[in-house]
Amino acid sequence: MGRPAMRTLKVVVLTVVCLIVASAVQAQTAHVSAAEAKNHVGATVTVCGKAASTRFVSGSKGQPTFLNLDKPHPKEIFTIVIWGTDRPKFGKPEDTYRNKDICVTGRITSHKSVPQVIIGAPSQIQTQK
């Protein structure tokens, strides 16, 4: 193999290594408290706290389930939303997670000035021990 070929091979290997490292760093999400979540709107993070109140609103449009971390409704500081179409994947989340320490991973948005994460898969939420 000549010098130009070796140089090309080194550049390709270095590029692949950089892409792998960048992917690994991006895959790691920050962990924040429910109170800190408001400072991370737009970012994908893991938010941890205690499910202080839970509610399935079967009569409302979209049949949402709300899990409020650290402070109960109506003074919630962070909300996890599970839409009715995804609810069967979770069983009865309002019972499963009530009063438990949990972490949720997803993109933080804001609804009526309250940060929230809308989840569609059980893998996005974990109970802490």
Q: What is the pLDDT of residues 65-124, one digit of tens each?
A: 999 999 999 999 999 999 999 999 999 999 999 999 999 999 999 999 999 999 999 999
- Separation CA 11–CA 92 (nearest Å): 52
Name the pLDDT band for 23 (thresholds 50, 70, 90). very low
- Separation CA 39–CA 62 (nearest Å): 27
In eight-state DSSP terms, residue 96 is: H
Could you tell me the residue range of the domain that residue 68 belongs to?
Answer: 30-127
- Separation CA 10–CA 16 (nearest Å): 10
Domains contained in the chain, number: 1
What pairs with residue 47 in β-bridges? 32, 104
Q: Is 3 a member of any domain? A: no
Q: Is 42 a member of any domain? A: yes
In eight-state DSSP terms, residue 84 is: T
